[in-house]
Amino acid sequence: MHTVNLSAWQRQALDDLGIAAWYLDPIQRHPSAEDDQHAHLIADLVDGLTHADQPGNTETVAPVVADKRPESRSQESVKPPPSQDAGHKRLSSVQRRVLQQPKAITLPVEVAINPPGEACIAFQAKPLQTPDWTQLTEKSRQLAETVKQPHWNGFGSHQAEEFLIFSPPQCDFTGEQFPAGAEEAFIDARAQKLLAEMLACVGIAWENTYRTPLLKHPSQYGRDPDAETLRNQLPLLASELSLVLPQRIWLFGNLPSQTVLDTQAPLSALVEKNYRLAYQTQNGEQRTADIICLPDLDYLLALPAEKGRVWQLLTARFA
């Protein structure tokens, strides 16, 4: 049997079994002058760190000089001579880098934004002067022309008790893909089916809803609307509220929830809150409606497991 570098126990086991074996000694590498120099450097670094930890010791370590002794042919490890104490010794550049204090790393701290504390929140936008449905349609068309996009108003009953607000389409849709006035632009067929089931589970008929996007034209390239866009668009939403006069407002998604409630708190902090929204009527009076914040319908379609949590929220709210 031919084997290489077995342990003493393994060799004894083979001998006890009567198996003849011969062994090769491992290849030996004789230490060179560079090995001696490296050993001296490591020893001096360790010695310098040890002395630096002692109180009142300001001694430094001498630079390392290559050992000029002839190469050792022994297999034993080379031990460097003990460092000699000196009054003032200088650190080499290598030692100085090793002993240098590491740079501090500062990380930005994210500040948690709490949801609004008040139970009733006033809608900041005001409706148009003497609004009507024809004026709303014309104003939506004019705003959409400025960005060369199709426009949409709301769909559903103008006397509905349930007012549903959705995120605008997040792409540059052309007129060929989604004609102006097509509800599928912001609620496709699958989302409409899911929405009808959600409403039915709490006893709300589809015919008793008014469904509208937050913006009346698509947002550019998936970006959130800027302050100027909101100033132009939110009065149209306020006008729809003043014409429909709903009793309950549903906010689907992060953008509608934060915009209507005027907060930067995440949607996860808003879904379990019981808010009321104060909005202005055509006569300048104030009316209030209950607020329900829910995830976007596309999110629920992508993650079916979240439907159970939404169902629990709705059943608890309408219990």
Q: What is the pLDDT of residues 119-161, one digit of tens each?
A: 899 998 999 887 788 888 888 888 888 877 777 888 999 999 9
Query: Same domain for 55 and 185?
Result: no
Residue 102 has pLDDT above 70, yes or no: no
User: 3-class SS at 32?
Assistant: coil
pLDDT of residue 144: 82
pLDDT of residue 244: 95
Residue 76 has pLDDT above 60, yes or no: no
Query: Same domain for 74 and 148?
Result: no
Residue 100 has pLDDT above 70, yes or no: no
Give 20's Cβ-side CA count (13 Å radius). Answer: 0
Query: Same domain for 197 and 274?
Result: yes
Query: Same domain for 249 and 192?
Result: yes
Query: Same domain for 163 and 280?
Result: yes
Residue with tokens 């490296």: 38
Question: 251 near 294, Cβ under 8 Å?
Answer: yes
Task: For residue 257, report the phi and psi dihedrals to the nearest 5 degrees.
Answer: -65, -50
Query: Same domain for 168 and 248?
Result: yes
Task: For residue 42, report the phi and psi dihedrals to the nearest 5 degrees.
Answer: -65, -40
Residue with tokens 């230490």: 31
Query: Same domain for 156 and 49?
Result: no
Say how far apart CA 36 and CA 56 lie, in whole Å: 31
pLDDT digits (tens, 9 = 90+) for 2-35: 455 666 667 777 777 777 766 665 555 667 777 7
User: 3-class SS at 164?
Assistant: strand
Residue 44 has pLDDT above 90, yes or no: no
Burial 235-258 (b: 16+ CB within 10 A, else e): bbbbbbbbbbbbebbbbbbbbbbb
pLDDT digits (tens, 9 = 90+) for 214-237: 988 877 666 788 888 899 899 999
155, part of any domain: yes
Query: Same domain for 161 and 71?
Result: no
Angle subtended by helix axes 306-317 and 189-200, to nearest 10: 40
Q: How many domains does the chain have?
A: 2
pLDDT of residue 246: 96
Predicted structure pTM score: 0.63
